[in-house]
């Protein structure tokens, strides 16, 4: 039986297109559709609107889900970026720790053939040599200082090296070798200001002829600054 | 088409919001992979990728739902999505007056392939209703509130809420039927 109340009639129409009416009532509904053009128009409008709204609500679900899914990826992206930044900071930290705490290996400089061959060729214990006594004394002082440094006695090496560095008759190669060892001795003896001054002297001593490893140069530069900052 | 594609296709056709949301999440991830490769590789930004993904997922869903896209054993859903991504990105590049790379343009397909006017028409019709109507209908259809809850929210009687809802629907139905009548 078709409801007479307006709202109930709309609900009746809704129940029909949602397949909620029993078979007998569906039959009555369809008879009303066929008989009453206004009723048919109302039913069609409600059904059209319901279908449209269902589609639009699904579209809303689609848009919301895509937005959520894309936004959800942002933290993951940030996390990846964060990992790169942290890795970079760890690498920088490791690099700085290496520069700060790894001492210059002076053994490799003690093995410098260029410096020793002239002295050794002269025969350490021979009197007939092409080296002057003064030159022989220079070499001896320098090798003694190297030995003190190797023994962990920089304070013993410093006076000899300071004396040598003040001599004005040294070849550039030998002068730079003395300055390099002196600044390392100062560093080992916790005298960063003296080390810094010697480092600058070494830098200003003209063309670098004494081979100093680039990493070692960075190490002493950084360690001088580090010791000045954190005495 | 793989069995995973088949399941995805069925879920995309579903009226159940949960099933649909699950399918959309999966589709979004797959389209995102395609769009990143195509957009970032052709002078686009991450923001462009997001826009293309949003448009493409919506277009694929529309095509699947309207039956324009039919399951075919020889065509993977990804291949179909790739075509839509390409067309959408080409159109964006052309709007920006960017010279379109040859290999991208060669694979272009007809715009009709990706265009579906039905949804914009529905949105336009809904927009023509007043704010009060839109709010009530969205509460019912979008948010899933019952008429009783809506009546409480709007501080009106349940009867008044029902009358308002049906009148709004009748108005929307009228707009859409007139529009369809013109289109026919």
SS3 for A49-81, per residue? HHHHHHHHHHHHHHHHHHHHHHHHHHHHHHHHH
Q: Would the pLDDT of B156 be above 90? A: yes
Give the domains, in start order, of chain B with CATH numbers.
3-113 (1.10.1740), 118-183 (1.10.10.10)
Residues A42, A146 within the same domain: no
Q: Would the pLDDT of A116 be above 90? A: no
Residues A23, A132 within the same domain: no
pLDDT of residue B107: 55
What percent of chain B is predicted at pLDDT more than 70?
Answer: 86
Query: Would you say residue A81 lies in a domain?
Result: no
Residues A72, A111 within the same domain: no
- On average, the pLDDT of chain A sits at 86
Residues A113, A222 within the same domain: yes
pLDDT of residue B113: 44
Query: Would you say residue A56 lies in a domain?
Result: yes
Residues A219, A115 within the same domain: yes
pLDDT of residue B121: 86
- By C-alpha distance, the chain A residue nearest B144 is A57
Q: Would the pLDDT of B6 be above 70? A: yes
- By C-alpha distance, the chain A residue nearest B164 is A7
Chain B residues touching residue A46 (CB < 8 angstroms): 166, 169-170, 173
Residues A151, A204 within the same domain: yes
Query: Would you say residue A90 lies in a domain?
Result: no
Q: Which of A132-136, A186-190, B119-123 has the highest mean pLDDT?
A: A186-190
Residues A210, A114 within the same domain: yes
Query: Would you say residue A89 lies in a domain?
Result: no
Average pLDDT of the segment spanning A155-166: 90
How many angstroms separate the Cα of A184 from the Cα of each of A117, A189, A190, A196, A223?
Answer: 23, 8, 10, 10, 10
Q: For residue A101, what are the contacts with CB-CB under 8 A and spacing of at least 6?
A: none
Q: Would the pLDDT of A164 be above 70? A: yes
Query: Would you say residue A99 lies in a domain?
Result: no
Which range of residues forms the domain containing residue A160?
107-229
Start-end of H helices in chain B: 3-12, 17-40, 46-66, 77-95, 102-106, 118-128, 131-141, 147-154, 158-183
Q: Which of A49-53, A102-106, B91-95 has the highest mean pLDDT?
A: A49-53
Residues A72, A112 within the same domain: no
Q: Which residue has the higher pLDDT, A148 or B110?
A: A148
Query: Would you say residue A91 lies in a domain?
Result: no
Q: Would the pLDDT of A100 be above 50? A: yes
Residues A139, A212 within the same domain: yes
Question: Closest partner residue to A58 among B20, B123, B174, by Cβ?
Answer: B20
Cβ–Cβ below 8 Å for B54 and A66: yes
Question: Residue A104 — very low, low, confident or very high, per pLDDT cuts 50/70/90?
Answer: confident
Q: Would the pLDDT of A78 be above 60? A: yes
Q: Would the pLDDT of B141 be above 80? A: yes
pLDDT of residue A12: 94
Does the predicted interface ipTM exceed a cut of 0.85? no
Query: Would you say residue A84 lies in a domain?
Result: no
Residues A219, A124 within the same domain: yes
Chain B residues touching residue A52 (CB < 8 angstroms): 122, 125-126, 172-173, 176
Residues A69, A120 within the same domain: no
Question: Residue A42 — very low, low, confident or very high, per pLDDT cuts 50/70/90?
Answer: very high
Domain count, chain A: 2
Question: Closest partner residue to B50 among A54, A57, A70, by Cβ?
Answer: A70
Residues A56, A125 within the same domain: no
């Amino acid at each position: 039986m078709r409801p007479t109340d307006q709202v109930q009639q709309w609900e009746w129409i809704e129940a029909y297109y949602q397949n909620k009416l029993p078979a007998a009532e569906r039959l009555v509904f369809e008879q009303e559709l066929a008989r009453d053009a206004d009723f048919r128009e109302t039913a069609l409008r409600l059904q059209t609107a319901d279908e449209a709204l269902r589609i639009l609500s699904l579209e809303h679900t689609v848009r919301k889900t895509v937005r959520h899914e894309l936004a959800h990826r942002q933290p993951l992206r940030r996390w990846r970026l964060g990992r790169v930044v942290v890795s970079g900071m760890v690498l920088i930290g490791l690099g700085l720790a290496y520069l700060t705490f790894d001492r210059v290996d002076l053994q490799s400089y003690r093995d410098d053939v260029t410096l020793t061959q002239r002295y050794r060729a002269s025969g350490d214990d021979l009197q007939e040599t092409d080296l002057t006594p003064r030159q022989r004394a220079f070499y001896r002082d320098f090798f003694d200082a190297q030995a003190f440094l190797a023994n962990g006695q920089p304070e013993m090496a410093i006076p000899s090296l300071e004396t040598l560095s003040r001599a004005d008759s040294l070849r550039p190669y030998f002068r730079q070798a003395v300055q390099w060892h002196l600044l390392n001795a100062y560093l080992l003896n916790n005298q960063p200001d003296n080390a810094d001054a010697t480092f600058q002297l070494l830098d200003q001593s003209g063309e670098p002829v004494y081979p100093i490893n680039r990493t070692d140069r960075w190490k002493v530069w950084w360690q001088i600054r580090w010791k000045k900052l954190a005495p | 088409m793989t069995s995973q594609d088949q399941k995805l296709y069925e879920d995309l056709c579903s009226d159940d919001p949960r099933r649909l949301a699950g399918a959309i999440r999966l589709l979004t991830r797959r389209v995102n992979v395609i769009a990143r490769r195509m957009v970032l590789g052709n002078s686009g930004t991450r923001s462009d990728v997001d826009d293309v993904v949003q448009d493409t997922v919506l277009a694929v869903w529309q095509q699947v739902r309207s039956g324009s896209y039919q399951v075919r054993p020889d065509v993977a859903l990804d291949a179909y999505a790739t075509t839509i991504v390409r067309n959408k990105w080409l159109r964006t590049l052309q709007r920006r007056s960017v010279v379109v790379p040859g290999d991208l343009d060669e694979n272009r397909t007809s715009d009709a392939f990706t265009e579906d006017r039905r949804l914009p028409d529905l949105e336009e019709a809904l927009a023509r209703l007043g704010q009060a109507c839109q709010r009530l209908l969205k509460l019912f259809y979008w948010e899933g509130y019952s008429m009783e809850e809506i009546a409480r929210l709007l501080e009106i009687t349940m009867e008044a809420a029902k009358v308002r809802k049906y009148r709004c629907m009748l108005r929307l139905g009228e707009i859409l039927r007139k529009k369809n009548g013109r289109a026919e």
